[in-house]
């Protein structure tokens, strides 16, 4: 059974960087068939896919245009986890952030982290 | 980006009713359409993938269909535990995009 466990702060100041981690059990971040995603949800923007990392003989990333200049999604193979970094935060980045497994359909999700951007 | 338009935004139905939710894609996405159920305070849960395929463990009262760029989620006999918001998501091309959601209430 695949499980994704998220960790990271719930409160971040404007202009700072958000760092979240998603620890994987029951699968490998280096899987040749999976992809590892970050999605956020807010009342104003709904569910918004942010980016992903995946391994197909080498590492690849894809990012949403809306955050492309500010986001990094990266694997940590030694700890079997992946992370999200989102910099230059504004209050509009306030949302519940989820990690999820899927190369198309998103079949396993983390528990979600409410991130509030406020001074 | 592919836009996903869901309707209705909310509905109220009685236990045992047949419920349908529609999602329209702004362009062709083949069968790359997935449906999720989200209960308050929880992460979305995959119900249907590839437009028609029931995810393991999901009750058979849930089903999916397609007509062109219109996709439908049907609950054949609504149960009290189906109180939730339902979302469609296209996985034809990056960026993955979601519908705005349909909130299902029990009368």
> What is the 3-class SS of chain A, one letter each residue?
CCEEEEECCCEECCCCCEEEEEEEECCCCCCCCCCEEEEEEECCCEEEEEEEEEECCCEEEEECHHHCCCEEEEEECCCCEEEEEECCCCHHHCEEEEEEECCCCCCEECCCEEEEECC
Per-residue pLDDT tens digits for B25-44: 999 999 999 999 999 999 99
Under the banding of pLDDT at 50, 70 and 90, the label for residue A77 is: very high
Pairing between β-strand A81-86 and β-strand A71-76 as defined by DSSP bridges: antiparallel
**Residues A8-22: what's their mean pLDDT?**
96
**Phi/psi of residue B82, nearest 5 degrees:** -85, 0
CA distance B79 to chain A (A): 23
Per-residue pLDDT tens digits for A92-103: 999 999 999 999
Q: What's residue A70's pLDDT? A: 98
| A94's tokens | 């306030």
CB contact under 8 A, A105 and B91: yes
Residues 41-80 of B with CB under 8 A from A: 42-46, 49-50, 55
3-class secondary structure, B82: helix
Among candidates A46, A107, A110 on the partner chain, residue whose Cβ is nearest the Cβ of B98 = A46
Residues 6+ apart with CB under 8 A from B57: none
Q: What's residue B94's pLDDT? A: 96
């Amino acid at each position: 059974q695949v499980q994704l466990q998220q960790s990271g702060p719930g409160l971040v100041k404007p202009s700072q960087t958000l760092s979240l981690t998603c620890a994987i059990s029951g699968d490998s971040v280096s899987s040749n068939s999976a992809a590892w995603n970050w999605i956020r949800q807010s009342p104003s923007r709904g569910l918004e896919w942010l980016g992903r990392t995946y391994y197909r003989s080498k590492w690849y990333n894809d990012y949403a245009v809306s955050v492309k200049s500010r986001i990094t999604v990266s694997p940590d193979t030694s700890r079997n986890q992946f992370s999200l970094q989102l910099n230059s935060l504004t209050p509009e980045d306030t949302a519940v952030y989820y990690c999820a497994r899927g190369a198309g359909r998103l079949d396993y999700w983390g528990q979600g982290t409410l991130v509030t951007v406020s001074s | 980006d592919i836009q996903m338009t869901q309707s209705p935004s909310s509905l109220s139905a009685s236990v045992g009713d047949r419920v349908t939710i529609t999602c329209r894609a702004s362009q062709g996405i083949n069968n790359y359409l997935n449906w999720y159920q989200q209960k308050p305070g929880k992460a979305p849960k995959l119900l249907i993938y590839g437009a028609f395929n029931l995810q393991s463990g999901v009750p058979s009262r849930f089903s999916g269909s397609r007509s062109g760029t219109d996709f439908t989620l049907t609950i054949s006999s609504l149960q009290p535990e189906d109180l939730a918001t339902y979302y469609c998501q296209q996985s034809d091309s990056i960026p993955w995009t979601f519908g705005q959601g349909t909130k299902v209430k029990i009368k």
